[in-house]
Amino acid sequence: MEQLEPVHEPAVHAGGAAVVRLTQLGIDPGRLAVALDAGDVAARQADQFSPVTAAGTYRWMETVRMLRQGLAGDGWTANDDRNSPRIINPVGALAIVPVRGTPDTGIADGQPKTARPRGPASSRAVQINGQLEFEFVAMLADMAAEKSDSVVTWFLLYHRAQHDALRAELSLPVRITEKGHVDAWLERIILPMRTFGPQLVVPRDAGGGDDVEFDIAAR
C-alpha cells in the first residue's frame, strides 16, 4: 500500500477572505462563477441517448472554454502545452486548470481530492509548485531533466452534488500520489456554492471521462 508523508494543513480562505485572496491573485471571481454555471448548463444537455460519460465531458469542456474566454478578456493567455488546457495570467506567473473533485470539494473543513488520476502534465505542474512528494524517483528524474518554468498552477476544483448544488474551490496542489490523485493542497479558496432548482437534473457521469489529459508535446 502506498505510504505518503503527511503535509501541513492548507490555508483555507472562505467568504470575504476568499474574495480578498482572489483579488490578490488578480482573479475576477465573476469569471469563475460564469465558467462553473456554463459547465452545469452544458452537462444538462446529456440525455438518455448520450454516452454515460457525456455529462462530465460536456461540463469539463464548457467550464474550460468559458474560463479561458472570460479571463482572456482580462489579458490572460490560453495555453495547451502537452494538451493540458490552462489559462495563464498576464505576467506568466499563475495558471488555472479546471478539474473535477471528490465530494469534499468546496467544503472548508473537507479533504478534497481530484476525482480521477491526473496525467503527466499535472504531475509536472505539481512539481513546479515545489511541493511534489512522489515516491518513485524515476519520474522525478525524468521531469527534472526537462526545461521547467516558474508558472504556479492552481486547480479550479468542482463537484456537482447529487441534487442541486455545485461546490467549487480554487486550490493549489502540493502532492500527487503514485496512482495519480492529487490529495493535498497548499491553499484552498472556497467559492460560493452554486445552487440550481431540483428540476434541473444532471445525468450521472458514470464513466468519469471529463478532464482529459494527454502527454503530447504541442507543435
Beta 194-195 vs 152-160: how paired, if at all? unpaired
> 143-164: buried (b, 16+ CB within 10 Å) or exposed (e) per residue?
beeeeeeebbbbbbbbbbeeeb
Residue the block writes with cell 522525478? 140
pTM, two decimals, is: 0.78
pLDDT at 199: 61
Strand (E) positions, the chain? 11-13, 77-79, 86-88, 94-100, 152-160, 165-176, 182-190, 194-195
Give the DSSP per-residue string, 71-126.
HHTTT-EEE-GGG--EEE-TTSSEEEEEEEB-TTTT-TT----BSS---HHHHHHH
Beta 194-195 vs 165-176: how paired, if at all? antiparallel
Total residues found in the chain within this entry: 219
Angle between the 54-72 and 29-43 helix axes, to the nearest 10 degrees?
A: 150
CB 164 within 8 A of CB 104: no
pLDDT at 182: 84
Strand partners, 97: 155
Walk along the chain (219 residues) and give the pLDDT tens digit of each residue.
444 555 568 899 999 999 999 999 999 999 999 999 999 889 888 888 988 889 889 999 999 999 999 999 999 999 998 778 899 999 999 999 999 999 999 999 999 999 865 445 545 554 444 443 333 333 333 433 343 457 888 999 999 886 678 999 999 988 877 676 788 899 999 999 988 766 666 665 543 444 544 333 333
Angle between the 16-24 and 29-43 helix axes, to the nearest 10 degrees?
A: 110
Cα angle for residues 105, 211, 201 (degrees, 5° grid): 65
- From the list 183, 211, 179, the residue with the least C-alpha distance to 84 is 211
User: Which burial class, exposed, middle or buried, applies to 9 when counting CB atoms under 10 A from its CB (0-12, 13-18, 19+)?
Assistant: exposed
